Copies of this chain bind each other. A is one copy, B any other.
Amino acid sequence: MSLRLLSVSALALGLVALAPQASAQDAATVERAIAIRDAALTSNIALDYVTQLTTRFGARPAGSKSEQDAAAWAADYLRAHGFQNVRIEEFPLVGWERGEGSAAIVGKNAQSLVAAALGHSPATPRGGVEADVVRFSSFEDLQAASDAAVRGKIVYVDLGQMHAMQDGSGYGPQTRVRGAGPGVAAAKGAAAFVMRSVGSDEDRMPHTGTTRYVDGKPTIPSFALSAPDADQVSRLIALGEPMRMRLISTAHTYVTHSQNVIGDLPGATRPDEVIVLGSHMDSWDLGTGAIDDGAGGAITVAAAKAIADSGRRPARTIRVIFYGSEEVAQPTPETGNGGGVYARALGAAAEKHIIAGESDFGADRVYALRLPAGAQGSDFQKAATRVLYPIGVLASDRVETDGGVDIGPLGPLGVPFFGLAQDGTRYFDLHHTANDTLDKIDPAQLSQNVAAWAGLVWLIADSGVDFRAMRPATAAPAH
């Protein structure tokens, strides 16, 4: 006991990274992590959780009754699986409902288009918006366009198809158009905004996603076309055909609430030290949110349960949080998001948040471990690699700096992040579409995720490793 007390006070002084009796890399801890990893591989909890969640509640838009019902059910699920101090943290929200909508080419070459309104897009006037279309192939071209070229028209931005990448890096270059495009077009007097979906598939399915308010005001009605429809429109324009569209949407906002669901596995000896495992409960309305992000909840709850079932409770508290309202998070005060709500409520407890990780990238396999800067090349990284490499996870020289939308607000409070990077090659085929359904989850890869989280979290939870105190390695590790 005195040894443990010593180690705690040493940690508190920030003088040592690892306490002697609580080293992540001691042989017994690694051995136990490997055993937990292997037991987690055979757990059926993740598949059970995501199957029930997506089947019972279908889509769970932020603030909907479905998200609220799912949260109550998930709290019961946590209790039934031995989590303690299970609570629901409610917060107000401006919700958004899609209503009805349609898109069509009118006049010559008249035909229907498959499109979806972007999140928080306002409705069209009754009867829709009908106007000629002006096409841009980059955000910069739209920004450079004169008001006269855009005024009264439907702005169409087609960056070409998003490129599929293992690390999902094809996504970023396209999201600026979705976030800021409608606002730029609206400022120039456009009647409506249409874009090629941000997605790597060629399915006839639009990818929705939230567009941003400009100065707190709703923008013009904004839509995403499926990739085949975007091809079609751009091909007709290239053929020299006139292009006129009619867009209809009855989307609207409403006042509601969302909630975070929180459950703990209290630490055996240092319960005030918390490791956060985050994911989100809400989904887009088009699919049933299996990969985004039912899978994340499934992975984190199953990983925590695998640790709980290992026969020895770890020293630190493992906290599973199903955040509410991730998808429509807006950078404006009147619309809430669960990650910000949780962080703002923490107060001084943030100092005892050891680290946070977020699972919000589907259910395909984990291929890389990303740690805070100070942990690069550390003994902790080496120990983690011993646990994770055999199941296909390599140590990455990429530092985890921002965590994700849900845990991100913990960053400014000084909480470090880890990341278990998942293969995103096919993630953006499905992301934010009707195709985000249970059948897209590969049970074997889901289990590998659970195993990686369980093994890694055990190493952190049953040790005194202090990521805040770690010094960055002076040179990048060999890889």
Q: List A residues at the B interface (Cβ < 8 Å).
A: 51-52, 54-59, 66, 105, 109-112, 114, 202-205, 227-228, 231-232, 235-236, 239, 241, 287-288, 433-435, 437-440
CB distance from A240 to the nearest CB of B (A): 12
CB distance from A52 to the nearest CB of B (A): 8
Assess the B203–A239 pair: CB atoms within 8 A.
Answer: no
Q: Can you give 19 contacting A-B residue pairs, CB < 8 Å?
A: A52-B239, A55-B232, A57-B111, A58-B105, A58-B109, A58-B112, A58-B232, A66-B110, A111-B288, A202-B440, A203-B203, A203-B205, A204-B205, A204-B437, A227-B439, A228-B437, A231-B437, A232-B288, A232-B437
Given contacts A55-B232, A55-B239, A239-B55, contact A287 B111 (CB under 8 A): no
Assess the A111–B232 pair: CB atoms within 8 A.
Answer: no
Assembled-state Cα–Cα distance A440/B227 (Å): 12
Assess the B439–A109 pair: CB atoms within 8 A.
Answer: no
- Which residue from chain B places its CB closest to the CB of A437 in the assembled complex? B228
Assess the B204–A434 pair: CB atoms within 8 A.
Answer: yes
Assess the B433–A204 pair: CB atoms within 8 A.
Answer: yes
- Which residue from chain B places its CB closest to the CB of A433 in the assembled complex? B204
CB distance from A357 to the nearest CB of B (A): 29
Instruction: Write out the residue numbers on chain B whose beta carbons fall within 8 Å of the beta carbon of A231.
Output: 437-439
Assess the A66–B111 pair: CB atoms within 8 A.
Answer: yes
- Which residue from chain B places its CB closest to the CB of A109 in the assembled complex? B56
Instruction: Write out the residue numbers on chain B whose beta carbons fall within 8 Å of the beta carbon of A111.
Output: 57-59, 66, 288
Given contacts A228-B437, A439-B227, contact A51 B235 (CB under 8 A): yes
* Number of copies of this kind of chain in the complex: 2
Name the residue in A54, A58, A438 with the highest tally of chain B Cβ atoms < 10 Å from its Cβ: A58
CB distance from A248 to the nearest CB of B (A): 12
- 3 closest A-B pairs by beta carbon, nearest first, are A58-B111, A228-B437, A204-B434
- Which residue from chain B places its CB closest to the CB of A231 in the assembled complex? B439
CB distance from A461 to the nearest CB of B (A): 34
Assembled-state Cα–Cα distance A444/B1 (Å): 73
Instruction: Write out the residue numbers on chain B whose beta carbons fall within 8 Å of the beta carbon of A66.
Output: 110-111
Instruction: Write out the residue numbers on chain B whose beta carbons fall within 8 Å of the beta carbon of A57.
Output: 109, 111
Assembled-state Cα–Cα distance A111/B57 (Å): 7
18 additional A-B pairs beyond A114-B434, A203-B203, A204-B435, beta carbons within 8 Å, are A55-B235, A56-B236, A56-B241, A57-B111, A58-B105, A58-B109, A66-B110, A66-B111, A202-B440, A203-B205, A204-B205, A204-B287, A204-B434, A228-B288, A228-B435, A228-B437, A228-B438, A232-B438
Instruction: Write out the residue numbers on chain B whose beta carbons fall within 8 Å of the beta carbon of A236.
Output: 55-56
CB distance from A21 to the nearest CB of B (A): 47
Instruction: Write out the residue numbers on chain B whose beta carbons fall within 8 Å of the beta carbon of A110.
Output: 58, 66
Instruction: Write out the residue numbers on chain B whose beta carbons fall within 8 Å of the beta carbon of A112.
Output: 58-59
Assembled-state Cα–Cα distance A435/B114 (Å): 10
- Which residue from chain B places its CB closest to the CB of A436 in the assembled complex? B204
CB distance from A229 to the nearest CB of B (A): 8
Instruction: Write out the residue numbers on chain B whose beta carbons fall within 8 Å of the beta carbon of A433.
Output: 204
Assess the B205–A439 pair: CB atoms within 8 A.
Answer: no
Assembled-state Cα–Cα distance A440/B231 (Å): 12
Assembled-state Cα–Cα distance A202/B439 (Å): 7
Assembled-state Cα–Cα distance A204/B439 (Å): 10
Assembled-state Cα–Cα distance A74/B288 (Å): 42
Assembled-state Cα–Cα distance A287/B231 (Å): 14
Assembled-state Cα–Cα distance A52/B439 (Å): 35
Assembled-state Cα–Cα distance A153/B431 (Å): 36
Instruction: Write out the residue numbers on chain B whose beta carbons fall within 8 Å of the beta carbon of A434.
Output: 114, 204
CB distance from A208 to the nearest CB of B (A): 13
Instruction: Write out the residue numbers on chain B whose beta carbons fall within 8 Å of the beta carbon of A437.
Output: 202, 204, 228, 231-232
- Which residue from chain B places its CB closest to the CB of A60 in the assembled complex? B111
Instruction: Write out the residue numbers on chain B whose beta carbons fall within 8 Å of the beta carbon of A439.
Output: 202, 227-228, 231
- Which residue from chain B places its CB closest to the CB of A227 in the assembled complex? B439
Assembled-state Cα–Cα distance A440/B232 (Å): 13
Assembled-state Cα–Cα distance A54/B433 (Å): 24
- Which residue from chain B places its CB closest to the CB of A234 in the assembled complex? B55
Assess the B235–A203 pair: CB atoms within 8 A.
Answer: no
Assembled-state Cα–Cα distance A114/B58 (Å): 12
CB distance from A298 to the nearest CB of B (A): 16
CB distance from A236 to the nearest CB of B (A): 6
- Which residue from chain B places its CB closest to the CB of A226 in the assembled complex? B434
